[in-house]
Amino acid sequence: MADTQTPTVNSQITDAVTQTNVTVVGEAPAQSMAMVYQSMAHSTSLLMQNSVMAQAGMQQINSAVVASACQRIMTLPSQKVAAPLQLSLNPAQTKPDELKSTQQKDNLEPRTPERETISEDKKRSIILKVAQEVTKVADLASEASDSYRDAQESAKDYSNRPEVNAEVLEASRYSTMASQAAQKAEVLYNKIFNATNSKIPDIDTIKNLYKQLRNQVVRAETARDKVREYKAQLESIADLDA
């Protein structure tokens, strides 16, 4: 007669399988949170690294602008250029043949209109004024970079909130705008310097370049103010949550 008893599994085997399943289920939440915290720590470290790199770059731009401005100011000529000697012919003291020859020469050669000249003192004044504007743009860009760094510091504990990340992104965009304005201001400074110290300076060109430089000052100032606004908003969020 066949054995009808149902075969059973050893209790030690079932206990081992049960304990393994319990271990996996119990460790799953802890491992998930560990991965979340690790990702957050990595994002925060990248955020701080980018902030440090941006600030270092702005300090380099500021130092380069000041050094370049000082170098160009020191290379300006220290003496005034002597005005061309103007000789006047007095008919009473000139022989008839010489006077006739001079009159014929004046009639044959057309006179070209004289362009406005710039004295060395005026050139020096223009360069100093432009250097002050460029330094102002560099300072505004540095202030924007510092405010952006503070904004990142305030937002580091709220990286999981979309609205906070959006404000940090906007602050970064305006900080970059200020940096670009500082770079363009340096280029315009070089152009104005070369145009001012040319043999025949063009006043209209210098005025146009200076107008573009002033636009960069306004652009950097606007970007600095925007970064400060986002910084204040992020700090208010941190204060409310605290």
CA distance 126 to 164: 45
Exposure string of 38-75, with b = 16+ CB inside 10 Å and e = fewer, is: eeeeeeeeebeeebeebbeebeebbeebeebbeebeee
Length reported for the chain = 242
Q: Does domain 15-73+118-241 have CATH number 1.10.940?
A: no
What residue ranges do the domains of the chain occupy?
Answer: 15-73+118-241
Other beta carbons within 10 angstroms of residue 168's beta carbon come to 22
Where b means 16+ CB within 10 Å and e means fewer, 140-154 reads bbbbbbbbbbbbbbb
Task: Give pLDDT, residue 1.
Answer: 45
CB 195 within 8 A of CB 206: yes
Please report, rounded to a whole number, the percentage of residues in the chain having pLDDT higher than 90: 11
In whole angstroms, what is the distance from residue 185 CA to residue 178 CA? 11
Q: Tell me, what's the pLDDT at 225?
A: 92
- To the question of pTM greater than 0.85 for the whole model, the response is no
Residue 196: partners with Cβ closer than 8 Å, 6 or more residues away: 118, 123, 126, 127, 206
131-157 confidence digits (pLDDT tens): 889 998 999 999 988 888 888 888 877
Span 170-184, average pLDDT: 90
pLDDT digit string (tens) for 79-117?
A: 443 333 333 334 444 445 544 554 554 454 444 444 557
Q: Which H helix or E strand runs over 203?
A: helix 203-241
Comparing 20-29, 108-117, 130-139, 189-198, which segment has the lowest mean pLDDT?
A: 108-117
pLDDT for res 5: 56
